[in-house]
Amino acid sequence: MQPSDEGRAVPGAAIAVVAEILYLANLLIAPGFAFALLLLLFLHRRRDVPPLARSHLEQTLSASLWAGLLLILVASLILVLGGMHGAHTWVILILYFTLCHSTLVVFGAYGLAKAMAGQCWRYPLVGRPLARGCREIRWQ
Amino acid sequence: MQYSSQAVAKPYFIAAIGLFVGQILFGLILGLQYVLGDFLFPEIPFNVARMVHTNLLIVWLLFGFMGAAYYLVPEESERELESPGLAIAMFWIFLVAGALTILGYLLVPYAGLAQLTGNDLLPTMGREFLEQPTITKLGIVVVALSFLYNIGMTVLKGRKTVVSLVLLIGLTGLAVFFLFSFYNPDNLVLDKFFWWWVVHLWVEGVWELILGSILAFVLIKTTGVDREVIEKWLYIIIAMTLITGIIGTGHHYYWIGTPEYWQWWGSVFSAMEPIPFFMMTVFAFNMVNKRRREHPNKAAVLWALGTATMAFLGAGVWGFLHTLAPVNYYTHGSQITAAHGHMAFYGAYVMIVLTMISYAMPMLRGRTAANSNKSQVLEMWSFWLMTIAIVFITLFLTAAGILQVFLQRMGENPLPFMVVQEKVALFYWLREIAGLVFLIGLLTYVASFFVGNDEPEAKTAG
Is B399 in Cβ contact with A95 (below 8 Å)? Answer: yes
Of B282, B395, B403, the CB nearest to A87: B403
Q: Which amino acid is at B373?
A: N
> So what's the ipTM on this one?
0.91
Measured in angstroms, the CA of A41 and the nearest CA of chain B are apart by 23
Q: What angle do CA B269, B271, B274 make, to 5 degrees?
A: 105
| CA quadruple B241, B243, B244, B247: dihedral sign | positive
Contacts of B339 (CB under 8 A, 6+ apart): B318, B393, B394, B395, B397, B398, B401
Q: What angle do CA B348, B351, B354 make, to 5 degrees?
A: 145
Query: Which has the closest alpha carbon to B354: B297, B433, B396, B313?
Result: B297
Query: How many CB pairs below 8 A link A and B?
Result: 61
- Cα of first residue to Cα of last residue in chain B, in angstroms, is 24
- The pLDDT, as a whole number, for residue A136 is 52
Q: What is the mean pLDDT of chain B?
A: 97
According to DSSP, residue B312 is labeled: I
CB B173 within 8 A of CB B137: no
Is B312 in Cβ contact with A117 (below 8 Å)? Answer: no
Q: Is residue B433 part of a domain?
A: no
Judging contacts by C-beta atoms under 8 Å, the chain A residues touching residue B399 are: 91, 95
Q: Which amino acid is at B316?
A: G
Is B286 in Cβ contact with A105 (below 8 Å)? Answer: no
pLDDT in tens, B357-414: 999 999 999 999 999 999 999 999 999 999 999 999 999 999 999 999 999 999 789 9
Of B285, B313, B321, the CB nearest to A110: B285
Measured in angstroms, the CA of B281 and the nearest CA of chain A are apart by 7
Q: Is residue A2 part of a domain?
A: no
- The pLDDT, as a whole number, for residue A130 is 84
- b/e B126-153 (16+ beta carbons within 10 angstroms → b): eeebbbbbbbbbebbeebbebbbebbbe
> Stretch A14-25: mean pLDDT, rounded?
97
- Cα of first residue to Cα of last residue in chain A, in angstroms, is 12
Please enumerate residues of A whose Cβ is less than 8 A from a Cβ of B.
Answer: 5-6, 87-88, 90-91, 94-95, 98-99, 102, 105-106, 109-110, 112-114, 116-117, 119, 139
Find the domain containing A105 and state its range.
13-116
Q: What does R_g of chain B's alpha carbons equal in angstroms?
A: 22
Q: Is residue A130 part of a domain?
A: no
Judging contacts by C-beta atoms under 8 Å, the chain B residues touching residue A110 are: 281, 285
Q: Which amino acid is at B404?
A: Q
pLDDT above 90 (res B316): yes
- The pLDDT, as a whole number, for residue A129 is 86
Is A119 in Cβ contact with B285 (below 8 Å)? Answer: no
Q: Tally the domains of chain B.
A: 1
Of A94, A99, A114, the CB nearest to B402: A94
Q: Is residue B192 part of a domain?
A: no
Q: Is residue B389 part of a domain?
A: no
> Stretch B255-273: mean pLDDT, rounded?
97
- The pLDDT, as a whole number, for residue A1 is 33
Helices (H) and strands (E) counted in chain A, each on its own, are 5, 0
Find the domain containing B44 and state its range.
1-160
> Stretch B179-197: mean pLDDT, rounded?
96
- The pLDDT, as a whole number, for residue A135 is 63
Query: Which has the closest alpha carbon to B357: B390, B379, B337?
Result: B379
Distance (Å, whole) CA B353 – CA B59:
12
Distance (Å, whole) CA A52 – CA A1:
13
Query: Please, which pLDDT band fits residue A10 given cuts at 50, 70 and 90?
Result: confident
CB atoms within 10 A of CB B340: 24
Query: Please, which pLDDT band fits residue A2 given cuts at 50, 70 and 90?
Result: very low
pLDDT above 60 (res B146): yes
Question: Kind and range of the H or E element at B372?
Answer: none
Q: Is residue B218 part of a domain?
A: no
Judging contacts by C-beta atoms under 8 Å, the chain B residues touching residue A91 are: 399, 402-403, 406
Query: Which has the closest alpha carbon to B443: B380, B382, B368?
Result: B382
pLDDT above 70 (res A137): no
- The pLDDT, as a whole number, for residue A11 is 86
Judging contacts by C-beta atoms under 8 Å, the chain A residues touching residue B343 are: none
Q: Is residue A52 part of a domain?
A: yes
Query: Which has the closest alpha carbon to B200: B167, B240, B173, B166?
Result: B173
CB B242 within 8 A of CB B276: no
Measured in angstroms, the CA of A107 and the nearest CA of chain B are apart by 10
pLDDT in tens, B332-365: 999 999 999 999 999 999 999 999 999 999 999 9
> Stretch A26-50: mean pLDDT, rounded?
95
- The pLDDT, as a whole number, for residue A131 is 72
pLDDT above 70 (res A139): no
- Could you give the 3-state DSSP secondary structure of residue B5? helix
Q: Tally the domains of chain A.
A: 1
Is A95 in Cβ contact with B402 (below 8 Å)? Answer: yes
pLDDT in tens, B69-124: 999 999 999 999 999 999 999 999 999 999 999 999 999 999 999 999 999 999 99
pLDDT above 70 (res A140): no
- The pLDDT, as a whole number, for residue B460 is 76
Q: Is residue A82 part of a domain?
A: yes
pLDDT above 60 (res B317): yes
Q: Is A39 exposed, middle or buried (0-12, 13-18, 19+ CB in 10 A)?
A: middle
Query: Please, which pLDDT band fits residue A4 given cuts at 50, 70 and 90?
Result: very low
* Best to test chain A binding among B227, B272, B273, B278 (most A CBs inside 10 Å): B278
